[in-house]
Amino acid sequence: MSKRSVAAADVSGKRVFLRVDFNVPLKDGRIVDDTRIRAALPTIRDLVDRGARVIVASHLGRPKGKPSPEASLAPAAARLSELLGQPVVLAADTAGPSARHLIDGMAPGQAVMIENLRFDPGEEANDDAFADRLAALADLYVDDAFGAAHRAHASVSGIAERLPAYAGYLLQREADILQRLLDNPAHPFVAVVGGAKVSDKLAVLEHLLDRVDALLIGGGMANTFLLAQGREVGNSLAERDLIGSAAAFIDRARAIGVDLRVPQDVVIAAAIDAPSGDVVAADAVPAGMAIFDIGPATVASFAEVISSAGTVFWNGPMGVFERPPFAAGTRGVALAVAACPGFTVVGGGESVAAVEQAGLAGKIDHISTGGGASLELLEGRILPGLAAIPDA
């Protein structure tokens, strides 16, 4: 999936509209995790070093088409200034007088940031007039926002129809690596999938089933699979309307020889805010109790499969890892993936947060910056952000 690369663009002195994904987590106005900002640095530095006038653009949060102080990109502009080693001034608007004034005053090798794209309702609506206003700011377009590549928004697909469009280094690397998982993974190929709901992941599970050798399922979504096996899960989160789909999936995996594993033991408690949990067999969850993590035997079982993998793809936590009583399962999987000698890919915000918190990010071969975009690509869907960039 080779796209026309920014490396082939003549950017010297040009105004380059650079779409990035700086939708970073904030707490009290401070960035909690700057992974997405750091991931875009190779493209930004390349443009700056080649004398481009770089217009950095991103969304943040869900301000619903209206300016919102808590969704301002000010913390992102400050952090990018630190990482880049030069000031990155934030415009007071998105494509208005402030943005145009800053852009007009830029010298080659400088970067400015425009305000949150989603402050304008035209962004998510892919409005032609808003795309026109964005395109008027620049001479060419570079997309490095893989995390937004599944959105047909004005700054993702609309602007690419109006300017010469190129893929940034992050976007191209994400597309190449995830496509490699579908087309040419080293075997055994192991997928570890967690998270809350089967409905969020069923399409990607079905698309991966013919490609993987083993599929390890944890998190809240595993409860629906446990129900499909005739086990009771008490008050646990489950999608009972999908029990039939889960049962059919289990039968199909068995028929084609995929090693499908669900929790054999679990950590239970009466409520999510319980100070501790108890480990029980997955078929011995009492009424009134709920599953909040996989148990140690399951971690060991999953780790055994992961240890001999040629390729591992992990998306989704194994439990409510934000709470200490229910963090061991996700941490155990993170350790196993980090120790795997094969090619390892971690995608999805919570999975990435888990490996970051455990200090294991440096031991993962590729950490994807796109949760929803990663899953949609692995479902075999066409992503608007990739489709908008001409092939190499």
Each residue's pLDDT tens digit in the chain (392 positions)? Answer: 789 999 999 999 999 999 999 999 899 999 988 989 999 999 999 999 999 999 999 999 999 999 999 999 999 999 999 999 999 999 999 999 999 999 999 999 999 999 999 999 999 999 999 999 999 999 999 999 999 999 999 999 999 999 999 999 999 999 999 999 999 999 999 999 999 999 989 999 999 999 999 999 999 999 999 999 999 999 999 999 999 999 999 999 999 999 999 999 999 999 999 999 999 999 999 999 999 999 999 999 999 999 999 999 999 999 999 999 999 999 999 999 999 999 999 987 788 888 988 899 999 999 998 888 898 999 889 999 999 999 99
Supply the pLDDT for residue 85.
Answer: 97
CA distance 178 to 379: 11
CA distance 95 to 136: 9
Supply the pLDDT for residue 33.
Answer: 85
Q: Which of 158, 349, 370, 385 is catalytic?
A: 349
Q: Which of 109, 234, 310, 372 is catalytic?
A: 372
pTM: 0.90
Q: Is 13 a catalytic residue?
A: no
C-alpha distances (whole Å) from 328 to each of 105, 286, 331, 337 are 52, 21, 5, 14
Supply the pLDDT for residue 350.
Answer: 83
Q: Which of 36, 53, 173, 331 is catalytic?
A: 36
Q: What tokens does 287 get?
A: 């009424």
Q: E strand or H helix at 267, and its extent? A: strand 265-269
Q: Which of 100, 197, 211, 252 is catalytic?
A: 197
Q: Can you spell out the DSSP letters for 377-391?
A: HHTTPPPHHHHTSPB
Structural domains of the chain sorted by starting position, each given as residue range(s) with its CATH number in brackets: 6-170 (3.40.50.1260), 177-378 (3.40.50.1260)
Q: Is 349 a catalytic residue?
A: yes
Supply the pLDDT for residue 75.
Answer: 98
HSE (side-chain half, CA atoms, 13 Å) at 184: 4
Q: Can you spell out the DSSP letters for 292-314?
A: EEE-HHHHHHHHHHHHT-SEEEE
What separation, in Å, do the N-terminal and C-terminal C-alpha atoms of the chain show? 9
The side-by-side arrangement of strands in the sheet containing 88-90 is 88-90, 111-113, 53-57, 15-19, 140-143, 165-167
C-alpha distances (whole Å) from 12 to each of 52, 83, 141, 144, 165 are 5, 22, 14, 19, 16
Q: Is 118 a catalytic residue?
A: no
Q: Is 36 a catalytic residue?
A: yes
CA distance 269 to 297: 18
